[in-house]
Amino acid sequence: MHHPFTRIGLFIRKDDPILENAVVQVCQFLKTQSLSVVINEPLNFLPDLDVVSMSDFPQQCDLTIAIGGDGTLLSASRALAGSDLPLVGINVGRLGFLADVTLDNLENQLSRILAGEYREDIRFLMQASINQSDTPIGLAMNDVVIHAYQSLHMIEFETYIDGRFLNSQRADGILVATPTGSTAYAMSAGGPILDVDLDALVLASVCPHTLSNRPLVIAADSVIDITLSDNTETNCMATCDGRQGHIIQPGDTIRIQRAPNTVKLLHLEDHDHYSILRAKLEWGRKLTC
């Protein structure tokens, strides 16, 4: 028997052009279920909702519901990483890989999750640090990207995996993605789609100088060091999940590795990652003879 959820934390992004009616609809439904509800940002159209800082969610809530899209769910995931607080995504707008409860079917889908009819989906994150600092510059559930900053120059860098030299190359950038992130920027860079249950990372170069360059899939426990060549003549940046990045200088080394913390997503029991892939990528239907 699953522990019933009684205290719900709603997560929204302040900069999200979120739909008011989505939050109102979710709140009204949760009120009918006699659940206590808090939110991470004050809303002028719902002034009675208690506002609680995201860092207090693990103490004050049994379940977090992120309202928005996959980007909102990524933000919530990074904030909750390691807390063991389960997370559900409600999708406002386009179909999402992570946020799979829809507004159209909200009451039916959310009732099932609140009743304990869900599947747990544990995802891992990566962390990036500069020059072997003990303090990571950021967490990434999707990807860490190293790229030229404010210019279209190529960058030159060397890649090491577990201390062993892999290659030296010139490209517009390089990214390391989790299976979760393999369907995001990594896919645009020609990387493979990794099954979300794989314990693996993908390395892909962005617009590499040589055509012999290919994406590489490695074990998730690998430690990846990317050293910016002294010949790189442009400012570079390391960016985690597409957020504001950190400037890196020629000669700096970025270390990317699995973070110690995981995220617990809850999906409907009939959640099907492949059907979402088919829909998002417009893959063909079954052939009928």
Ordered per-residue pLDDT tens for the chain, 289 residues: 445 799 999 999 877 666 788 899 999 999 999 899 999 999 888 888 999 999 999 999 999 999 998 889 999 999 999 899 999 999 887 777 888 888 889 999 999 999 999 999 999 999 999 998 999 999 999 999 999 988 888 999 999 999 999 999 999 999 999 999 999 999 999 999 999 999 999 999 999 998 888 999 999 999 999 999 998 888 899 999 998 789 999 999 999 999 999 999 999 988 888 888 888 888 877 776 6
Reply yes or no on whether 70 is catalytic.
yes
Residue 113 shares a structural domain with residue 131: no
pLDDT value of position 17: 62
Q: SS3 for 114?
A: helix
Q: Are strands 87-91 and 63-68 parallel, antiparallel or unpaired?
A: parallel
DSSP assignment, residue 141? S
Number of domains in the chain: 2
**Which of 12, 262, 273, 259 is CA-nearest to residue 119?**
273
pLDDT value of position 108: 94
- Strand extents, DSSP E, the chain: 7-11, 36-39, 50-51, 63-68, 87-91, 101-102, 118-130, 138-140, 143-148, 155-161, 164-177, 200-208, 216-219, 224-228, 236-240, 246-248, 253-268
DSSP string, 190-259: TPPPPPTT--EEEEEEEEESSTT---EEEETT--EEEEE-TT--S-EEEEETTSS-EEE-TT-EEEEEEE
Whether 38 is covered by a domain: the verdict is: yes
Whether 289 is covered by a domain: the verdict is: no
pTM above 0.85, yes or no: yes
Which CATH number is 47's domain given? 3.40.50.10330
Which tokens in the block code for residue 86? 């389960």
Residue 61 shares a structural domain with residue 133: no
Residue 135 shares a structural domain with residue 43: no
Which CATH number is 252's domain given? 2.60.200.30
User: How many residues does the structure list for the chain?
Assistant: 289
**Which of 205, 222, 223 is CA-nearest to residue 214?**
205
Whether 1 is covered by a domain: the verdict is: no
Q: Which of 15, 16, 70, 225 is catalytic?
A: 70
How many Å from the N-terminal Cα to the C-terminal Cα in the chain? Answer: 45
Whether 286 is covered by a domain: the verdict is: no
pLDDT value of position 3: 56
Q: How far apart are CA 268 and CA 241, in angstroms?
A: 25
Q: Which residue has the tokens 């190359």?
A: 169
Domain range for 251 = 125-260
Residue 74 shares a structural domain with residue 144: no
Which tokens in the block code for residue 88? 């559900």
